[in-house]
Amino acid sequence: MSSSGLEDLYREIILDHYRNPRNRGSMEVPPSQRVEAYNPLCGDEVVVYLLENNGVLEDVRIEGQGCSISQSSASLMSAAVKGKTVEETRKIISDFKKLMSIHESKLEDSTDDTQMDLDLDAMGELAALQGVVRFPVRIKCAILAWNALAQGLDEISDVSTDKTK
Amino acid sequence: MTDTDTDTDTATATTQLDIERIKQDFPLLSKGFHGESIVYLDSAASSQRPSCVIDAMSGYYNYSHANVHRGVYKLAEEADRLYENARITAGKFVGAPDPAREIVFTKNATEAINLIAYSWGMHRLNEGDVVVVTEIEHHANLVPWIMLHKERGVELRVIPMRDDYLLDLDNLEEMVDGAKLVACTLMSNVLGTIPPFKKIADAAHSAGAIVVADGAQLVPHAHVDVKELGCDFLAFSGHKMLGPTGVGVLWGKAELLDSMPPFMGGGGMILDVKFEGIVPAEIPTRFEAGTPPIAEAVGLTAAIEYLDNIGMNNICRHDAELTAYTIDSLKDTFGRDITIMGPDITEDRGGVISLALKDIHPHDLAQVLDESNVCIRAGHHCAKPLMRRLGTSATARASFYLYNDTSDADRLIEALSKAASIFG
């Protein structure tokens, strides 16, 4: 592994979100939704609070502890989805999971978006996490918070379905 | 150490190990990983093995393989002889009084401890009986006893760890009072702590308990003698002592083993089988159902011969010197930024160093170190109760063996400095 791989993993944006996590804290449940994700292998832990109103994630808060990748990914995620609609958020989750499933050999040619079927520019700061795929063991660190977010959205949908019944 | 080796390896006459020479016996360490030199500091998880171990196994598979037990042809007799020789070798290595009867081959140390828990524990322990463990145990010497708590209503008592990473034995007599079984590690895989086992075993015996020693970490690194330890059972693993994976060893006192029912049922472990019931075989085959790990036992024999040839006291002293050198260098280089989770003194600790550098997460540390081809382990090391006691979810751990030297320690520190600068 060349040292550029490591620089690719620990980009400045990632280290910044690790040192200064955004949207840190908790919210009252209810009205907010609380979801925990835990990686028993390494002890990484992320708690996501979602406050949804009229189909919009009005507020997102993050708690937890773990490695730089799991915690910066949670912070980047909170910044990316706060204020977005539930539908927009689902699209962001789907794009992020695609980013994590790109084979590392395709990264060399990352300017070719058609090959990856992803608009990296549109992903903003989240694209900084693409270096993670070079380190397969760490993908589950990066994806931890996103699994919690996806579960939270499902629970929100369940609640609103119940209400309409 | 066995009697035959005392002339070359005694407590008083230790010799300096020639590490450059030893590295030549390990292709990975002399030739590198994909051509790049590697610093392997994860022997507490699994050691590397010298070519002579692989050669012994391939020689067996190429020229001597047949199934063991009851073969009438010469080839099968040869396989039998090699397998039983492995039993004797493993037994002598830990000072077993009657190796032919007291050594049971399992697949690893974990299975050896499970054998005790299921065969002895499930039949001898009842609701309210006390099993004593310590706070620094590996899950292998913890989970089987917790499962007995669940299944048999056994009460679990835990000897706590002090803030200096040694066991708190102030209330030892009280702790073991009324206990039926005391299970304790010979060396912590996280802290390197070597508990005063004899003292614990004596107290346990006075209270009428039997004593289980988890030797997975210490047996590969020091002279261990079951008579001197005063244990009733000892479990250890082949792959942590230069041997192959897939073979573990249980030593148990003959009279205890003889009183125990089979662990698993199948071929090889019976004298007679009728639909109405079975007559179990004598020990130790009573506990070895099915075809045993024959090639692995042959490999273990070669590993033990290799270790004996170098001398366990020499290895133990080498580990201690390298550990002291590394801890000193870590403190010199990183000062207050480094936390070492293990005893300060070298007499009560082995060559395992759990550390924290600033607030860098252990996984990030291990990732950056890997970039310099320095292999350390990050995680809970199968000791979650201990992690809780340490107030963390994971540590970064470097562990040494006879093929590591100060240049490996220097490269560890260099790589740690790189991590410190990235996460500054």
Catalytic residue list contains B382: yes
Which of B184, B231, B375, B382 is flagged as catalytic?
A: B382
Domain ranges of chain A: 3-156
Distance from the Cα of A12 to chain B's closest Cα (Å) equals: 10
Residue positions counted in chain A: 165
**Residue B4 confidence (pLDDT) above 60:** no
- pLDDT by residue (tens digit) across A83-95? 999 999 999 999 9
Distance from the Cα of A77 to chain B's closest Cα (Å) equals: 20
Which residue among A42, A68, A138 places its CB closest to the CB of B379? A42
What pLDDT was estimated at residue B243? 98
Which residue among A3, A41, A66 places its CB closest to the CB of B371? A3
- pLDDT by residue (tens digit) across B334-392? 999 999 999 987 777 999 999 999 999 999 999 999 999 999 999 999 999 999 999 99
DSSP for B259-287, written as a single string: TSPPSS-STTSEEEEETTEEEEPPTTGGG
Is B3-37+311-422 a CATH 3.40.50.2300 domain? no
Secondary structure in 3-state letters for A63-105: EEECCHHHHHHHHHHHHHHCCCEHHHHHHHHHHHHHHHHCCHH
Is A3-156 a CATH 3.90.1010.10 domain? yes
Domain limits, CATH 3.90.1150.10, in chain B = 3-37+311-422
Residue A107 pLDDT class (50, 70, 90 cuts): low
Contact B393 A45 (CB under 8 A): yes
Domain limits, CATH 3.40.640.10, in chain B = 55-308
**Residue A159 confidence (pLDDT) above 80:** no
Buried/exposed A14-50: b ≥16 CB within 10 Å, e otherwise: bbbbbeebbbeeebeeeebbbbebbbeebbbbbbbbb
- pLDDT by residue (tens digit) across A52-96? 999 999 999 999 999 999 999 999 999 999 999 999 999 999 999
Distance from the first to the final alpha carbon of chain A: 56
What pLDDT was estimated at residue B5? 45
More confident residue, B344 or B284: B284
Buried/exposed B90-118: b ≥16 CB within 10 Å, e otherwise: bbbbbbbeebebbbbbbbbbbbbbbbbbb
Domain B55-308: give its CATH code: 3.40.640.10
Contacts of A136 in chain B (CB under 8 A): none
Distance from the Cα of B47 to chain A's closest Cα (Å) equals: 21
- pLDDT by residue (tens digit) across B245-260? 999 999 999 999 999 9
